[in-house]
Amino acid sequence: MRLKDKVALITGAASGMGRTAANLFAAEGAKVVIADVTARTGEEAAQEIKSTGGQAAFVRADVSKPADVEAMVRFALETFGGLHVLYNNAGIFHAEDEGTVETAEAIWDRVIDINLKGVWLGCKYGIPALLRSGGGSIINVASFVALVGAATPQIAYTASKGGVLAVTREIAVEYARRGIRANALCPGPIETPMLAELLRDPQRRARRLVHIPIGRFGRAEEVAQAALWLASEDSSLMTGAALVVDGGITAAYVTPE
């Protein structure tokens, strides 16, 4: 069990990639704190883990609010006695996030608040807890669009994920000699409820698929396995890096027929 006796806090863990990771981390021995804004599904996610013999607890938190983030870290310490893995997974894609000129300031602010400020707040309050627990691993969810421009205009989302990558590198350098590793996950399009909603139109879905050399969208389980590797000591020499899990999107110049 690669996370035996570790405490892992995962934001946005009530559904999608976060919930899949929470189940996997628990199966690998971690005590999992599920943080999310949605109480009903968050409680269900925690109960799902406990029903299979794992250890989990839910705490409601809006990652854009400093008081909520501070409280979720305190909850992890009080409930399980430490913090060893901080997985900043919570994020949104707003339907009105469009081109540079078209996107409203309110949309920009909302996306940045959750996707970028939320990661910074998680680290701001989580790092002292990691240090008190003897160090650990920070995993921040960026995106393949942190590395290449998006084919479909989405300026706020792209900016937020680029920021996550930069923040991760900064933290990695700052804490490398204090027992904390920080890495970013850069997934491609993953089959989640958020993607399903975004690509309800079959033609829009087909246009996205054309850019993926492997010929399909990723699965949440595939991203969770990458996160598990970053969380565990298997990746002990890796810090300040971007782990790309995108089916080849960022490697492709010309999409194969």
| Active site amino acids | 157
SS3 content of the chain, % helix, strand, coil (to 5): 50, 15, 35
DSSP H helical ranges for the chain: 16-27, 39-51, 66-80, 105-112, 118-132, 155-175, 193-198, 202-209, 220-231
- The gap between the terminal CA atoms of the chain, to the nearest Å, is 42
Backbone angles phi, psi at 134, to 5 degrees: 95, 10
d(CA 136, CA 249): 30
The alpha carbons of the chain give a radius of gyration, in whole angstroms, of 17
Strand order in the sheet with 31-36: 55-60, 31-36, 7-11, 85-88, 136-141, 180-187, 242-245
d(CA 209, CA 190): 11
Structure tokens at 175: 């804490």
184: closest CA among 252, 88, 110?
88
**Do the strands 180-187 and 242-245 form a parallel or antiparallel pair, or are they unpaired?**
parallel
Q: Which residues contact 162 (CB under 8 A, 6 or more apart)?
A: 142, 145, 146
